[in-house]
């Protein structure tokens, strides 16, 4: 038997709807600890969830992934693993999120009194442009 496998213990991981039995290296903070390449395929990190178009959906981590870097100055790295079963789709596409930000920034440039896009961000304390605040707004005849 491989001495590396001797340290691993079977653990039941509940990932939403199913229970899976996997070999873990132990426990840390009440969560099973997996090594590199040892975690079940239904448990992913936040960046892996994002890569497949999912988000955490407010769930707590199900397990931990612990690994060492090949560079000597980088010691042990720990990251949380989340269930694919409990994850939800990402809200909107990248283009939709950029459009929302663009609209929010445009709203910051609109004066509350004259309702015009003044070309700069109006102060958040007054929400009026400099011309309306000083009363020097020129009316076109």
How do residues 44-85 score in pLDDT, each as one tens digit?
999 999 999 999 999 999 999 998 887 777 788 899 999 998
Residue 74 placed within a domain: yes
> Do 80 and 46 touch, CB atoms closer than 8 A?
yes
Residue 29 placed within a domain: yes
Q: Are residues 108 and 129 in the same domain?
A: yes
Burial of 56 (0-12, 13-18, 19+ CB in 10 A): middle
Q: Are residues 73 and 8 in the same domain?
A: yes
Give the percent of the chain with pLDDT over 90: 44
Confidence bin at 101 (pLDDT 50/70/90):
very high
Task: Say how many domains are in the chain.
Answer: 2
Q: Say whether pLDDT at 140 is over 60.
A: no
Residue 71 placed within a domain: yes
Residue 139 placed within a domain: no
Residue 141 placed within a domain: no
Total-model pTM: 0.57
Confidence bin at 37 (pLDDT 50/70/90):
confident
Q: Could you list the residue range(s) of the whole structural domain that residue 125 is in?
A: 94-134
Q: Are residues 112 and 71 in the same domain?
A: no
HSE-CB for 99 with a 13 A CA cutoff: 5
């Amino acid at each position: 038997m491989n001495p590396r496998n001797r340290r691993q213990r079977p653990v039941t991981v509940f990932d939403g709807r199913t229970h899976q039995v996997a070999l873990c290296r132990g426990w840390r903070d009440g969560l099973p600890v997996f090594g590199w390449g040892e975690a079940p395929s239904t448990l992913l990190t936040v960046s892996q969830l994002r890569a497949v178009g999912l988000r955490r959906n407010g769930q707590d981590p199900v397990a931990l992934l612990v690994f060492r870097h090949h560079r000597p100055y980088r010691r042990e790295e720990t990251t949380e693993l989340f269930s694919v079963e409990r994850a939800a789709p990402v809200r909107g596409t990248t283009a939709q999120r950029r459009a929302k930000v663009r609209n929010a920034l445009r709203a910051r440039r609109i004066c509350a009194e004259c309702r015009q896009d003044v070309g700069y961000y109006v102060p958040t304390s007054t929400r009026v442009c400099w011309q309306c605040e000083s009363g020097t707004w020129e009316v076109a005849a």
